[in-house]
Amino acid sequence: MKMMTPKSEAELAEMVAGADGPLWVKGGGTRGLGGAGEVVSVAGIAGVELYEPGALTLVVRAGTPVAEIEAVLAAENQRLAFEPMDHRGLLGTTGEPTIGGVVAGNISGPRRVQAGACRDFLLGVRFVDGAGQVVRNGGRVMKNVTGYDLVKLMAGSWGTLGILTEVALKVLPRPESEATLTVATAEAAVAVKAMAAALGSPFEVSGAAFDPEAGTRIRIEGFESSVSYRASRLQEILVPFGAVTVESGPEQSSAIWRDLRDVAPFHGGAGDVWRLSVKPTDAPEVAARLRAERVLYDWGGGLIWALVPEGTDLRARLGGVAGHATLVRASEATRARLGVFQPEPEPLRRISEGLRARFDPRGILNPGLMAQPVEA
């Protein structure tokens, strides 16, 4: 399959304008997705454009590896607060995650429950639409709020509205310390109540997850003295739900949350992996309906990762439960049959198709990625 490798935004715009067929947008190649047409790699459109640590602002080209960005931020004791997941272990892929791919998928990790999602930290974007036009929206500073908010629209559009070339992000300071409290809970209903109690406390919880094989995990971050105090107070709150232990070593705590972020228990094995977003209080009932081989809960129960036998249609088991299910790991045949994304209600589907028609009138950008399942 032919691959186009533009080195600049102008070169990319020229390629898109002159395309006579479908284009499949590729960043670091870590998601395992693909489709018909020529591949357009944005890996060559990389590099830091602007970094102002004092203003907590970073402007970077879309093909820049996330690892490179994290290294730049770490030198100034800062970080990407939304904690983007690394899919390589889960999907068995190679390559390097890029910031454009993170933004295109609105990829957000465990800290979303406190800090917000990737889209909440976007200040501005530049992208090439399906007609080959360069579009700029937002700005490079936090006070810029003029114009239509295409910034939020691009986050989670998966390259179907335009090919990102540049993103401006708000960054945050890296905390001095962190700790993880583990509650010995085995039942999902108890775990969800424990996470709700922690998140509803005044102690600034930055992670709340549940692994039935490891217990309920609660993370706190900040100055060392504050972390120590809050860990002690949270223990008092969590004791009614089970025995509580505290991992106060920052490196050990970070390793726990890195594994949760990347869904490490599902690495290397067989089976399909689904990602479900539901109301936290519905999580125990939803998980029971799934009849999955294994589940993990994040975001206080609002996110469920499910490992199931190959070809399983989890959406058919959800019934009338509000939420959506995304197929993250499966064969191409299963993806084609079930669709990667949750089918949209008819009014929303018409809006989505209208937006794609406006930004990509020829329908050439990642065609079919967000199509309805064959059996829908």
Across 217-243, average pLDDT: 96
Region 264-338: CATH code:
3.30.70
Query: pTM here?
Result: 0.93
Q: Where are the domains of the chain?
A: 3-173, 177-261, 264-338
What was the pLDDT predicted at 373?
65
Pick 199 or 348 by higher pLDDT: 199
Please name the residues in contact with 275: beta carbons below 8 A apart, sequence gap of 6 or more. 303, 304, 305, 306, 325, 326, 328
The two beta strands, 303-308 and 294-298, are antiparallel
Of the options 3.30.565.10, 3.20.80.10, 3.90.1170.50, 3.30.70.920, the CATH number for the domain spanning 177-261: 3.30.70.920
Q: What is the band of 265 on the pLDDT scale with cuts at 50, 70, 90? A: very high
Domain 3-173 and domain 177-261, same fold? Reply is no
Region 3-173: CATH code:
3.30.465.10
271, pLDDT greater than 70: yes
What was the pLDDT predicted at 140?
59
376, pLDDT greater than 80: no
What was the pLDDT predicted at 143?
46
Mean pLDDT for all residues in the chain = 92
145, pLDDT greater than 80: no
Q: What is the band of 50 on the pLDDT scale with cuts at 50, 70, 90? A: very high
Q: What is the band of 144 on the pLDDT scale with cuts at 50, 70, 90? A: very low
What was the pLDDT predicted at 175?
95
- Asked if residue 197 lies in contact with residue 241, where contact means CB atoms within 8 angstroms, the answer is yes
Please name the residues in contact with 65: beta carbons below 8 A apart, sequence gap of 6 or more. 28, 46, 96, 97, 98, 99
Tokens of 145: 């709020």
